[in-house]
Structure 1
Amino acid sequence: MVALIGFIMIFLIVFLLLKGKMSPIVVLALIPTIAALLLGFSPQEIARFIKDGISTTTSNGILFIFSVIYFGVMSDTGMFDVIVNFLVKKAGNNVIAVTVATAIIATIAHLDGTTATTVLITIPALYPVYKAMKIDTKILLCLTGACMGVMNLLPWGGPVARAATVLGMDANDLWHILIPIQIVGLVFNIVLAVLLGMLAVKQGAGAGKGEVVDVDEKAKDEEDALRRPKLLIFNLLLTIGLIVILSTGYLSSYVAFLLALSIALAVNYPDLKLQDKLIKKHAPAALIISATLFAAGAMVGIFDGTGMLTEMANALMSIIPDFMGRFIHIVFGIIALPLGLCIGTDAYFYGIMPLVMEVGQSYGVDALNTALTMVIGKNLALMVSPLVPATYLATGLANVELKDHMKFSIPWYWAISVIMIVIGIIFQIIPL
């Protein structure tokens, strides 16, 4: 009975998240609560489960608040624009240099972990260059998506924070384990950029010269007023220093972002009204993500407290061949990309992953190893998933049909995700 209610709950969570009929916050908090009531647990017991679950997500939720606002402010200062313009100018008329510059720009632009921001920074800046040089714009989309997928392994990236929430660990600690794999992914993104540049040359790219990008001055007046070109070096050093601190774990991630945000606002915008305006500008996105994480913590707490995951795992164990059990994390790591195309982020991490973890543990596979493999493929599926709104934004800006983008990009993304998993196995980051 416990397993049956658990499976029904998982189905409802995934179904409602896919349909988009309710906010993830409502789904993740309400459905597990109803399931626990049906199992006979009292409201006081359920409240304790929720409290225990939310306590494991506090640091990650605070991290999201300050990190999203910080990178939003850095974007307002124009730091990313300067980097993009410099790289595009350096690439010149060299096709391979343009594709490599695309990978670098998308990688830097996705430091904030926000898909829409990365798309809006990368594609409009490079689209005229691609058209003028007759480079297939599917290459622009492919490289942007690949770099976003690998960069999304950062601790303030949504998938890593969600996986950390399910594991009950700090997102920064999970990222430290993933760093070698992420570096491999970044290297292969540059390799992919070179290969796609060579492909573009074979297709006849390279003719013509770059065109001047038309700028709507009226629409950009407010943005221009926020630009701080004279503080570019300061903002770059501040961001680099922040990343170094996060990499070493010298400070808690949310403390580092809180201090960096405070310094950035004080130096770039030493005016109370303007500081308040910028915080309010970026706060909605930060608070929605954090609130969703807290709701997910409530769900995880109910999962653990009621014992539903254990019962569901026992039911699945009875139908999984024994020889497959110890490799379940590898199997799900390999199929994570196609699975991630069909299932939304919240449904994937809060519905499917906990169940696979529990089954894996029954066969001696540590939950952390399952999370490591499943987070890689899902991240690479980010910009080819029809469930991600930024996918439509990107295809619209690049004037490419979604089906054409998926057909062109999925094989490359899948190859990179499998390579990252294989390298993780070779480095013994992911034990077999």
Structure 2
Amino acid sequence: MLAALGFGSISVFTLLVMTKRISAVAGLILIPTVFGLLGGFGADLGNMMVSGVVDTAPTAVLLTFALLYFLVMTECGLFEPLIRKILSIVGEDPVRIVVGTAILIMCIGLDGDGSTAAFVVITSMYPIYRQVGINPLIIAMLLAIICPTVNWMPWGGPAARMAVSLEIDVADVVLPMLPALVLTLAAALVFAYFVGRGERSKLGARKAQAALVEEDGEASIGEPRTPIPTKNVWFNFALTIAFIVSMGIELLPLPALAMIAFSIAVTVNWPNLRTQNEKLKPHAGTVVMVISLILAAGAFSGILNDSGMVKAMSDALVTHLPEAWGGGFAFVTALISGPLLFILSNDSFYFGVVPVLAETGSAYGIPPEVIAHSVLPGIYLHTLSPLSAPIYLVASLLRTDFGTLQRFSLRWAIGITLTAIAAATITGAIYAT
């Protein structure tokens, strides 16, 4: 019963949001409330929602102040030199721009924090995409297929969580997967190349069509970009590097670092309070949307977790596998990890489900390290989960909605998941017994 309610709430939310029948904020609140009432949790729903919001609050604070920080950096033209340099290298060729975006994400995403990569890459590349006429949703897709791959590294999170939950060495999780990581990143570049080829064809067709209706020749396809005047570039650059490094080494709790960095940036760049208000006011809608989405996602996860729906869903998927699949349980784990991570939070999955998967695998002679390898490719679908806060940030930065972003990126996330599983199989990190 609880498992059915959990699967129902996730499915109905995804369907309604992707078809734009309901907004993400309203769906995150109303849909689990309805299913919670059906499950008889009416009296406790309020406390469940508040519990989830409290758990999500640090993430909301981090992303809100980090968003404000990078908005200040954008308004001060910090990324203008980078944008000009990128344009001088790639010109207006969609293939070069998309592949260049992928490479940029690989470099910035190495710190293991996908939010930082999203801020920097979208802030610097979005104006270029709009100017040339390339679909900006491609940036979100590239973030979804590349950031999780570099997150396989020890400092990325999943490997460390599994090492703790399975009581194994993190090196045994990461090192055998490095060849698969390289192959998967190479595949991501291939994906980027073909997406860029598709955009080049579309852009050429639009230019040809526009030229037919323009009396004075070829029409402009993209949105001309007005360069932003630079201000305090070297100070802002040094502050941004210090901010990112401090986040990487966790000098302070991440929400505190974001609050401090924003306070320094806004005070130094716009010491006049009236100027601060004028500069930040146009971005108020974006900030409010990010906060509301993350807190609403907290309410959603609070109901699913505290009602027992999450545990029931994971148990249903793990314990009802056919006995005949035992020898290939590592591949079963690889295939179900994506859907599990789509409906579960990171900690619920890595500390609650992965030990059960490892125990089940041991019955078929599969070492826990191999189960850990099988789990890593599942993180791609988690980036598009309604329970993943960064996806709402990416949607806001790209001026789109959750459903559109998810609908565009999902097939590519599934494709890179299967590619990663194949790469791990070829390199021997995942095998049958």
TM-score (norm 1): 0.60
Report the Cα distance in structure 1 between the residues aligned to 2:308 and 2:429, rounded to whole angstroms.
Answer: 29
| Alignment match, 1:80 | 79
User: For residues 395-414 of structure 1, what are the structure 2 equivalents within 5 Å?
Assistant: none
Paired residues for 1:280-319 under 5 Å: 280-317=281-318, 319=320
For residues 331 and 195 of structure 1, the distance between their equivalents in structure 2, rounded to whole angstroms, comes to 26
1:120 to 117, 126, 149: 126
Question: 1:255: Cα distance to partner?
Answer: 1.3
Cα distance, 1:354 vs structure 2? 7.5
Give the whole-Å Cα distance in 2 for the aligned partners of 1:428 and 1:240. Answer: 38
Q: Are residues 1:29 and 2:36 paired?
A: no
Q: Percent identity?
A: 22
Q: Deviations over 1:104-129 (max 9, x none)?
A: 567779844499756632324556xx
Q: Pick closer, same or farther for the CA change 1:393–1:9 going to 2, 3 Å.
A: closer
Q: 1:410 offset after TM fit, Å?
A: 9.7
Superposed displacement of residue 56, structure 1: 1.5
Q: CA deviation at 1:269?
A: 1.8
Shift of 1:78: 1.7
2:246 partner SS: helix
Q: Can you list the C-alpha shifts for 1:30-59, whole angstroms capped at 9, x where unaligned?
A: 33233333333352x333322322222111
CA gap 1:33/1:326 in 2 versus in 1, 3 angstroms? farther
CA distance change for structure 1 residues 154 and 47 in 2, over 3 Å: closer, same or farther? Answer: farther
Shift of 1:243: 1.1
Cα drift, residue 27 of structure 1 = 2.1
Provide the rounded CA distance (Å) in 1 between the counterparts of 2:246 and 2:431.
28
1:148 aligns with one of 143, 149, 162: 143
Letter paired with 2:277: D
Query: Aligned Cα RMSD in Å?
Result: 5.8
Partner Cα separation in structure 2 for residue 122 and residue 215 of structure 1? 9
> What letter is aligned with 1:310?
K
Amino acid at match of 1:330: A
In the alignment, is the contact (CA less than 8 A) between 1:50 and 1:297 conserved in 2? yes
**1:41 corresponding residue in structure 2:** 41
Q: Distance in 2 between matches of 1:266 and 1:371?
A: 45
SS of the equivalent of 1:57 reads: helix
Answer whether contact 1:62 1:254 (CA < 8 A) is retained. Answer: yes
| Change beyond 3 A, Cα 1:141–1:39 | closer
Q: Does 1:330 align with 2:334?
A: yes
How many Å apart are 1:240 and its aligned residue?
1.5
Cα distance in structure 1, aligned partners of 2:314 and 2:192: 44
Task: Give the whole-Å Cα distance in 1 for the aligned partners of 2:42 and 2:343.
Answer: 27
Letter of the aligned partner of 2:335 in structure 1?
V
Counting only pairs closer than 5 Å after superposition, residues 203-222 of structure 1 correspond to structure 2 as 220=226
The answer to whether the Cα contact below 8 Å between 1:332 and 1:373 also exists between their aligned partners in 2 is no
- Aligned partner of 1:11 in structure 2 is 11
Instruction: Using the TM superposition, give the Cα deviation of residue 247 of structure 1 relative to its aligned residue in structure 2, in angstroms.
Output: 1.0
For the residues of structure 1 that align with 2:265 and 2:47, how far apart are their CA atoms? 39
| SS of residue in 1 equivalent to 2:21 | coil
2:78 and 2:237 in contact (8 A); partners too: yes
1:152-171 alpha-carbon deviations (Å, 9 max, x no partner)? 5599xxxxxxx9xxx9xxxx
Q: Confirm or deny: 8 A CA contact 1:13 1:31 kept in the other structure.
A: yes
Partner of 1:244: 245
Matched letter for residue 74 of structure 1: M
Higher deviation after alignment, 317-326 or 296-305: 317-326
Q: For residue 267 of structure 2, what is the aligned residue in structure 1?
A: 266
Distance 1:194 1:51 in 2: 41
C-alpha spacing 1:21/1:380, structure 2 compared with 1 (3 Å):
closer
The alpha-carbon deviation at position 266 of structure 1 amounts to 1.6
| Offset at residue 317 of structure 1 (A) | 4.8
Q: Please give the residue correspondences for 1:143-222 in structure 2 after superposition, counting only pairs within 5 Å.
A: 144=139, 147-149=142-144, 188=186, 192=190, 220=226
- 1-structure distance, mates of 2:10, 2:92: 52
Pairwise CA distance, 1:245: 0.9
Q: 1:237 to 1:188 in 2, by over 3 A?
A: farther
| Secondary structure class of the residue paired with 1:79 | coil
CA, structure 1 residues 421+254, in 2 after alignment: closer, same or farther (shift >3 Å)? Answer: farther
Map of 1:399 onto structure 2? none
- Between the two proteins, the alignment pairs up a number of residues equal to 360
* d(CA) in 2 for partners of 1:38, 1:94: 53
Structure 2 residue identity aligned to 1:309: V
Give the SS at the match of 1:229: coil
C-alpha contact 1:309 1:355 (8 A) present in aligned 2: no
Residues 281 and 6 of structure 1: CA distance in aligned 2, closer, same or farther (over 3 Å): same
Partner residue in 1 for 2:357 = 363
Distance 2:297 2:31 in 1: 11
Q: Sort the Cα spacing of 1:357 and 1:253 in 2 relative to 1 into closer, same or farther, 3 A.
A: closer
**CA–CA distance in structure 1, aligned partners of residues 101 and 86 of structure 2:** 8
Say whether 1:376 aligns with 2:383. no
How far apart are the structure 2 equivalents of 1:424 and 1:124?
Answer: 37
Are the counterparts in 1 of residues 56 and 298 from structure 2 also a CA contact under 8 Å?
Answer: yes
Distance in 2, matches of 1:312 and 1:12, equals 15
State the AA in 2 paired with 1:299.
F
Aligned to 1:206: none
Deviations 1:322-374 (A, max 9, x none): 436665441146xx5xx8xxxxxxx9557999899977665348999998533
In structure 2, relative to structure 1, the CA distance for the partners of 1:25 and 1:245 (3 Å cut) is same
TM-score, normalised to structure 2, is 0.60
Deviation at residue 28 of structure 1 after TM alignment = 2.1
